[in-house]
Structure 1
Amino acid sequence: MDKIAVTVPEAVQISGIGRTNLYKLFKDGSLKPRKAGNRTLVIVEELKDYLRNLPTEEK
């Protein structure tokens, strides 16, 4: 069974986005963190959608 949400360290690991930048994305509304008690969670599909919509590098 695949996870539908991951913790911040897991999101950093699977996305390649640094922890500081991940929190910047939370602050500017690009990603919406969820809270479960003290844990901050990121919905995997939202993270994937964010990454898919990043601009591509043009050469």
Structure 2
Amino acid sequence: MDGRQLYRVADVMHLLSMSRSVIYEQIRSGRLRSVKQGRTRLIPASAITDYITLLEQEARKL
């Protein structure tokens, strides 16, 4: 990541190599935290780190 604190959905799509629909699905399910600023959905850098940690934990359980 490049040091920003908040990322737009399009940026997170590239960072995580996921489609827009998958990102929104993860947000809806509560697995990926986000905030709204006006009409813009933003994902905090800490939420991205937490999400990656969650994925790693789930992978270890398999």
TM over 0.5: yes
Deviation of the 1:31 alpha carbon: 1.4
Give the TM-score of the pair, scaled to structure 1. Answer: 0.80
- Decide which structure has greater helix share: 2
Structure 1: unaligned runs, 5 residues or longer: none
Structure 2: unaligned runs, 5 residues or longer: none
Q: Which amino acid aligns with 1:3?
A: R
Query: Where does 1:8-47 land on structure 2 (aligned, <5 Å)?
Result: 8-47=9-48
Runs of 4+ aligned structure 1 residues displaced above 2 Å come to: none
Give the TM-score of the pair, scaled to structure 2. Answer: 0.77
Which structure has more relative contact order (CA 8 Å, sep 6+)? It is: 1
- How many equivalent pairs are there? 58
Separation in structure 1 between the aligned mates of residue 23 and residue 16 of structure 2, nearest angstrom: 10
CA contact (8 A) 2:34 2:47 kept: no
